Amino acid sequence: MITVCDNARDACPYFPGVAAQVHWGLPDPADATVEDEARHAFSMTFDTLSARVDALLALPLEGMTAATLVDAAATIHRAEYVA
């Protein structure tokens, strides 16, 4: 399971059976108050998440343990993947 904003991480419910959980903190694009800024914020969030998910899906997921998957996802987050 991946959470993406600090509010979600702080209030994230427990999901039984989830072996791997990582937090990819991103600013909440809904916080933008000006329409042009909001469009840009949502676009940047989409591009960032899209690049991170692509990087995650490029991993050999079937052969990874939960711990190695969490480490790899954290590395992807730290790498600041942006399309």
Q: Which two tokens stand for residue 2?
A: 């991946």
pLDDT at 28: 85
Taking residues 54-60, report their average pLDDT: 96
User: Is 83 within a domain?
Assistant: no
pLDDT of residue 55: 95
Q: State the pLDDT at residue 13.
A: 67
The answer to the question of residue 74 being in a domain is yes
The predicted pLDDT at position 8 comes to 56
64 has a pLDDT exceeding 60:
yes
Predicted local distance difference test score (pLDDT) of residue 1: 85
Total count of domains within the chain: 1
Residue 6 belongs to a domain: yes
Cβ-Cβ contacts under 8 Å for 48 (sequence gap 6 or more): 26, 81, 82, 83
What is the per-residue pLDDT across 1-54, written as a single tens digit (0 to 9) for each?
888 876 655 666 667 888 888 888 888 888 888 989 999 999 999 999 999 999
Q: Is residue 54 part of a domain?
A: yes
Considering only residues 76 and 1, tell me which one the structure prediction assigns the higher pLDDT. 76
